[in-house]
Amino acid sequence: MADTLPHVAGAPVGVGTPVTRKEDDRLLRGDGRFTDDVRPADALHMAVGRCPFPHARIAHLDTSAAERLDGVRHILVGADVVAATSVISPLRPTPGTPDLPYYALAPEVCVYEGHAFVSVAATSRHIAEDAIDLVEVEWEPLPHVTDTLAALAPEATVLHPAQLDSNLLSTNPMGPGADAELAAADVIVEDVFRVNRVTGLPMEPRAVVAEWRPGARRLTVHCATQVPHLVRMQLAETLHLDEGEVRVIASDVGGGYGLKLGAYPEDVLACLHSMRLVRPVKWAEDRQEHFRATTHARESVHRFRIAATQTGRILAITDTYAADLGGQYSSFGPAQLSSYTYPGPYRVTAGHVERQVVVTNKTPIGAYRGYGQPEVNFARERLMDRLAREVGIDPLEVRLMNLLTPEELPFTNLSGAIYDSGDYPRCLRMAADAVDYSGHRVRGTVRPDGRRTGIGFSSFIERTGYPSAKFLADRRSRYGTHESLTLRANRTGGIDLFTGVSTMGQGSETTIAQVCAQVHGVDFARITVHAGDTGASPLNTGGFSSRTMIAAAGAVRIAASELRAKTLRIAAYRLAVDPEDLTIDGQVVRLRDDPACAISLAEVHEAAIFGRGIPDEEDPGLEATAHYEPPAAAFAFGSAAAVVTVDPETGDFDVDRFVFVHDSGTVVNPLIVEGQVRGALAQGFGAALGEELRYDRDTGQLVSGSMLDYFAPTAADLPEWELLHTEVASPVTPFGVRGVGETGTIPPAAAIANAICDALSDMNLDITSLPITPESVWRAIAAASAGEGMS
């Protein structure tokens, strides 16, 4: 799909058209409306004071000097928040865990660097920040623990002693077990894999503008969120308001990637200030805060194991992993999909998985693009190469031997996930062919300049969407799986489309409208999308989990069909023909066989809206709302191949080529799908090759918590990717779509690590932790050499 050409203006738009986006013009003109662009004239500005220690008790807090500063209007401390609100409830608690309630401000003990303990509303942001500096705090530092495994040691300080007697929050053992297979296996490969703590780093920091009107009892909250309707629910609960009194608006969101899922403490604080002061209150996160107060992701330690026969056939896979929670919950908590996708695309019928959620003195972990899937992919695909080495079979062949074939699908994996359809081996072969793998095997790894070249593979699946609302309910998740929208005909002949899915770059304004245009027949250009406003959209779920298109395509199909049918009935009445003989063509309704016999959509819409000139049995109005719950999750899949060159002495390496073969089912818009894949790959490369939120073990301080210290790849840091795709329609979704937003994050780390190990195969080195850097490769070389010396 290299360099897809955009759609030609004027031609029909539907599913599969590479039409340019509805979102683009306003964003290109600087006329987007991000939350920080909402500037009420009389707004006050909020700043937040944060704990500088990883774990500390507030021994004494004095805000009197801050209160005396000119321009300061209101100060909140933990006790105020406890008195005025309920705790913030997670949207997706870890199953089987005790609640770890948290308030918007720490009342007494802060459990991570950056934990908020005071907030100020003032006439300017400068003054609010000055006031924070004037808050006098006497801190009593407490023993801290930042390492995930160290937090499980018996001597570790228990961070939530009122609720827990250790820092282990939960274990979730799942799977049929594997005792017999492990005993019978010829080969068992296993290791401990450490996955780095990273962050999605949206370019737009979080922001909120809250305005309370006590007479109207209306709280209007502009909020940079992926889930306006869920934030509304959380705010109403936390602030003890009727849900009808809260309206949440997320117009343009500057990137989410899972980080902007659910209410954050600052959202509650801005509301509290506004409710007290009866003025709009605004908070715009600065980047230093973002690195500490917006969720981190991925950090986990996997003890992964593959048992196999001497011929390379997998008998069992097991994974016991510790997932870092940070100091307290976030709305989504630690990733849960490792437990569902750890067996990957392979034919595995025995195994088990256990998730241990561990509390540490770090920023709370939350959802991030991939949500547990890149983590297990790294561990499993590294071990697939180890298995190949152990049994003396090529890594490509070992994978092909174990990949599920199209005939074996649908397949229920060890955790009950159902892989719906696809051709997994074909994707891997395409990747191997693209990098001339057989030629590489003949040529060998040594290059004339002394550097080594290697090829590594990584095969993957991605669960997109959810199995069912019941699946979520069983896990105490506080949302469903449906999407909904309203289509409303307008008097100028267009359609207003209302969706609760906020616009954060995923292109859903465009893709949902494409489906609407195809099903209804109206011109794509005449569909006006109104997104992300709870006051103007039916209750929905939101934009995450690669689920929007799967669910919204169903909802828009139903609503557009209903709208179309009524439009045809009214047009038929006015034209004195049979509705069966009519069709909608852009801006008119016309006879299929005689385009001259037509009536404009504007005329039909106006007749319906005014209730004049419509059949007696029709109600006036022309509007349809639909809710759609997909019957199952769809699994995207694919394989990647990395070609690297490595300096065997220094560990310096380059990714020369990266081929990504994927299948996201029926493609609604090739431009957007390619953009999603490339964006996810960039985040996958960043996390694989440099991004790391590192905490100093002794001080518990975040040492890479600024843009200068955190490696987010620039345009100059990424190689050219080669994208290939197959298009197997999913049988379980409308139009056969699969989600596409997250796949690119999954395979890069393993493919690159495998390629490096292949390049240095004579050294028998291993890479088991992320990120992969020249230094870490050099250390792996040194470790392998030392091991050789000892043996």
Examine residue 16 and tell whether it contacts another protein (CB under 8 A).
no
CA dist., res. 559 & res. 486, Å (int): 7
Angle of the 748-759 helix axis to the 373-391 helix axis, nearest 10: 30
CA dist., res. 671 & res. 732, Å (int): 24
Angle of the 508-520 helix axis to the 548-575 helix axis, nearest 10: 40
Q: State in angstroms the smallest separation of the CB of 715 from another protein.
A: 4
Three-state DSSP class for 467?
Answer: coil
List the one residue from 100, 104, 297, 504 that touches another protein (CB under 8 A): 504
Examine residue 748 and tell whether it contacts another protein (CB under 8 A).
no
List the one residue from 255, 258, 705, 736 that touches another protein (CB under 8 A): 255
List the one residue from 554, 679, 700, 771 that touches another protein (CB under 8 A): 679
Nearer to another protein, 26 or 440 (CB): 26
CA dist., res. 539 & res. 559, Å (int): 15
Three-state DSSP class for 183?
Answer: helix
Angle of the 395-402 helix axis to the 373-391 helix axis, nearest 10: 110
Q: What is the dihedral of CA 528, 530, 536, 540, to 10 degrees?
A: 120
Examine residue 32 and tell whether it contacts another protein (CB under 8 A).
yes
Nearer to another protein, 32 or 96 (CB): 32
CA dist., res. 639 & res. 432, Å (int): 9
Q: What is the dihedral of CA 709, 715, 720, 722, to 10 degrees?
A: 90
- Long-range Cβ contact pairs of 1-6 (< 8 A, separation 24 or more): 1/670, 1/673, 1/674, 1/723, 1/724, 1/725, 2/722, 2/723, 4/670, 4/671, 4/674, 6/671
List the one residue from 8, 10, 11, 28 that touches another protein (CB under 8 A): 28
Q: State in angstroms the smallest separation of the CB of 670 from another protein.
A: 9
Q: What is the largest CA-CA distance in the chain?
A: 93
Examine residue 671 and tell whether it contacts another protein (CB under 8 A).
yes
Nearer to another protein, 27 or 182 (CB): 27
Which of 749, 747, 774 lies closest to 760 in space, CA to CA? 774
* Site pattern 717..736 for another protein (x: CB under 8 A): xx-xx---------------
List the one residue from 706, 764, 775, 787 that touches another protein (CB under 8 A): 706
CB 541 within 8 A of CB 551: yes
How far are the Cα atoms of 198, 393, 456 from residue 677, in angstroms, in the given order? 19, 31, 20
With contacts defined by CB under 8 A, name the span among 203-211, 537-545, 725-733, 782-790 that binds another protein. Answer: 203-211
With contacts defined by CB under 8 A, name the span among 264-272, 471-479, 501-509, 773-781 that binds another protein. Answer: 501-509
Which of 367, 474, 350, 471 lies closest to 417 in space, CA to CA? 471
How far are the Cα atoms of 430, 504, 671, 725 from residue 19, in angstroms, in the given order? 28, 18, 7, 19
CA dist., res. 178 & res. 351, Å (int): 5
* Site pattern 105..134 for another protein (x: CB under 8 A): ---------------------x--------
Which of 257, 742, 732, 667 lies closest to 467 in space, CA to CA? 732
Q: State in angstroms the smallest separation of the CB of 498 from another protein.
A: 21
Nearer to another protein, 181 or 252 (CB): 252
Q: State in angstroms the smallest separation of the CB of 251 from another protein.
A: 12
CB 565 within 8 A of CB 513: no
Q: State in angstroms the smallest separation of the CB of 170 from another protein.
A: 31
With contacts defined by CB under 8 A, name the span among 141-149, 270-278, 316-324, 708-716 that binds another protein. Answer: 708-716
With contacts defined by CB under 8 A, name the span among 18-26, 78-86, 146-154, 624-632 that binds another protein. Answer: 18-26
Examine residue 266 and tell whether it contacts another protein (CB under 8 A).
no
Examine residue 682 and tell whether it contacts another protein (CB under 8 A).
yes
Say how many residues make up the chain: 791
Examine residue 9 and tell whether it contacts another protein (CB under 8 A).
no
Examine residue 287 and tell whether it contacts another protein (CB under 8 A).
yes
List the one residue from 78, 254, 366, 465 that touches another protein (CB under 8 A): 254
Nearer to another protein, 193 or 524 (CB): 524
List the one residue from 23, 181, 211, 562 that touches another protein (CB under 8 A): 23
With contacts defined by CB under 8 A, name the span among 98-106, 271-279, 280-288, 329-337 that binds another protein. Answer: 280-288
Q: State in angstroms the smallest separation of the CB of 598 from another protein.
A: 29
Neighbours of 241 (CB within 10 A): 18
CA dist., res. 9 & res. 7, Å (int): 6
Q: In what order do the strands lie in the sheet with 109-110?
A: 109-110, 56-62, 136-141
List the one residue from 219, 241, 681, 772 that touches another protein (CB under 8 A): 681
Examine residue 6 and tell whether it contacts another protein (CB under 8 A).
yes
Q: What are phi and psi of 157, to 5 degrees?
A: -65, 130
List the one residue from 8, 10, 11, 29 that touches another protein (CB under 8 A): 29
Three-state DSSP class for 620?
Answer: coil
Examine residue 739 and tell whether it contacts another protein (CB under 8 A).
no
Q: What are phi and psi of 468, to 5 degrees?
A: -175, 165
List the one residue from 407, 714, 789, 790 that touches another protein (CB under 8 A): 714
Examine residue 204 and tell whether it contacts another protein (CB under 8 A).
yes
CA dist., res. 337 & res. 161, Å (int): 28
Residues 6+ apart with CB under 8 A from 644: 453, 454, 455, 456, 653, 654, 655, 656, 752, 755, 756, 759
Examine residue 716 and tell whether it contacts another protein (CB under 8 A).
yes
How far are the Cα atoms of 327, 477, 572, 698, 725 from residue 146, in angstroms, in the given order? 9, 28, 70, 9, 41
List the one residue from 252, 266, 319, 423 that touches another protein (CB under 8 A): 252
With contacts defined by CB under 8 A, name the span among 197-205, 422-430, 523-531, 752-760 that binds another protein. Answer: 197-205
List the one residue from 191, 286, 394, 656 that touches another protein (CB under 8 A): 286
List the one residue from 13, 201, 643, 760 that touches another protein (CB under 8 A): 201
Which of 117, 105, 126, 136 lies closest to 46 in space, CA to CA? 126
Q: Name 522's bridge partners.
A: 586
Nearer to another protein, 219 or 224 (CB): 224
* Site pattern 138..177 for another protein (x: CB under 8 A): ----------------------------------------
Examine residue 640 and tell whether it contacts another protein (CB under 8 A).
no
Examine residue 200 and tell whether it contacts another protein (CB under 8 A).
yes
The H-or-E segment that residue 471 falls in is helix 469-474
Examine residue 72 and tell whether it contacts another protein (CB under 8 A).
no
Examine residue 683 and tell whether it contacts another protein (CB under 8 A).
yes
- Applying CB under 8 A, the site for another protein has a residue count of 61
Q: What are phi and psi of 237, to 5 degrees?
A: -65, -50
Q: State in angstroms the smallest separation of the CB of 648 from another protein.
A: 26
Q: State in angstroms the smallest separation of the CB of 196 from another protein.
A: 17
Examine residue 498 and tell whether it contacts another protein (CB under 8 A).
no
Q: State in angstroms the smallest separation of the CB of 125 from another protein.
A: 9
Examine residue 183 and tell whether it contacts another protein (CB under 8 A).
no
CA dist., res. 401 & res. 405, Å (int): 10
List the one residue from 12, 14, 16, 20 that touches another protein (CB under 8 A): 20
List the one residue from 112, 257, 340, 466 that touches another protein (CB under 8 A): 257
Which chain residues interact with another protein by CB under 8 A? 3, 6, 20-21, 23-32, 34, 36-37, 39, 126, 200-205, 252-257, 284, 286-287, 503-507, 671-672, 674-675, 678-683, 706-708, 712, 714-718, 720-721, 744
